[in-house]
Amino acid sequence: MATTTKRDTATHEEYLQLHRWMSMAKALDDRMHILVKQGRAPFVGSSRGHEGIQVASTAAIGPSDWLVPHYRGLANAIVRGLTMKEWMLAVFAKAGDPLSGGRNIPGGCYSYRKLKIAPVSQVVASWIPKASGIAYGSKLAADGAVTLCTFGDGATSQGDFHEGVNFAAAHKLPVVFVCENNGYAISVPIRLQMSNPDVADRARGYGIVGVTVDGTDVPAAYAVCKEAVERARRGEGPTLIDAKIWRINSHTSEDNQLKYRSKEEIEDAAEHDPIERFRSWLVERGWITIDDAARIQTECDQEASAAADWAEQQPDPVAEDALTNLFA
């Protein structure tokens, strides 16, 4: 297990692109909270606090690679090319929703063939063996693709995590496992889930590389993910990355974190906002000004609001389609 603080893997332009993607994700997240409060959208599973590791990991793979994200992976999907309008079609469960045709809750499924995002179920961790299966397929086909698989710390307490990682390790599969470790599985804190909170330590048991990284530190997270993708591409097998992050909001809009987290802890989580941290880093380097960052966020907020207004007016699915593509 190694801890890393490596930086400067990307160019100035690439870092600015990562910043824009994070601003887009925040804009959509904030807009969804408003829509839920207004009774216009049903639900939000917030990705606030996760954006740094999500853009870092997804930017590290290429267009022919696969993404197998967890339900909180909005910024992952944005990096792959999901547009704000497409996301809002999913939020309003419209007929044109490219992710599930209006059949799933927002974030319940990011399945998108065009963007090479694999369909996953909301059964926590069930997508980890699937990611290994996709990577096994890539190995057999020798197509050079790497699979990026993301999940939370709670998912690592499931048997599927062990089966998926063990299989990938045994077969030296081209897959990168990223644990977005926010320290909670809904209301269950990590100390009640595992006696060693460093998920990357388990890599040793599988005979693979494990790395712990501060997932709110975008340049460091990007460097680690890039290295892991290159390792997979060279045929050297999987990497297990433990990205430490803070969950800023409640688990979902159905949850109230004040019931199990102190006010002080929630305030502390908000202080670990990866977007703010990355902005400060870009400002220190002179690559962006505080005004630029504010302008970009305002542009993204306006685009998210317009996308929501547009999507709400789009046609609903027709009743006759309700069972199409459903197996049971």
Residues that bind ligand TPP (CB under 6 A): 72, 122-124, 151-155, 182, 184-186, 251
- Do residues 6 and 220 touch, judged by C-beta distance below 8 A? yes
Q: What tokens were used for 308?
A: 């929501």
Catalytic positions, written as ranges: 247, 251, 260
Spatial CA neighbour of 184 closest among 30, 72, 24: 72
DSSP annotation of 112 reads B
Q: Which residues lie closer than 8 Å to 41 by C-beta, 6 or more apart?
A: 32, 35, 91, 92, 106, 308
> Closest CB to ligand TPP among 129 and 152?
152
Task: For residues 248 and 39, give the distance between their C-alpha atoms in angstroms, rounded to a whole number.
Answer: 22
- Do residues 38 and 312 touch, judged by C-beta distance below 8 A? no
> Closest CB to ligand TPP among 240 and 308?
240
> Closest CB to ligand TPP among 89 and 221?
221
As a residue count, the chain comes to 328
Query: What residue number has its CB nearest to ligand TPP?
Result: 152
> Closest CB to ligand TPP among 125 and 282?
125
Phi then psi dihedrals of residue 60, to 5 deg: -80, -15
Q: Cα 196 to chain center, whole Å?
A: 23
Q: Bridge partners of 176?
A: 148, 239
CA within 13 Å, CB half, 313: 4
> Closest CB to ligand TPP among 29 and 227?
29
Q: Is 302 exposed, middle or buried (0-12, 13-18, 19+ CB in 10 A)?
A: exposed
Q: What tokens were used for 72?
A: 């909180």
> Closest CB to ligand TPP among 227 and 242?
242
Task: For residues 60 and 72, give the distance between their C-alpha atoms in angstroms, rounded to a whole number.
Answer: 18
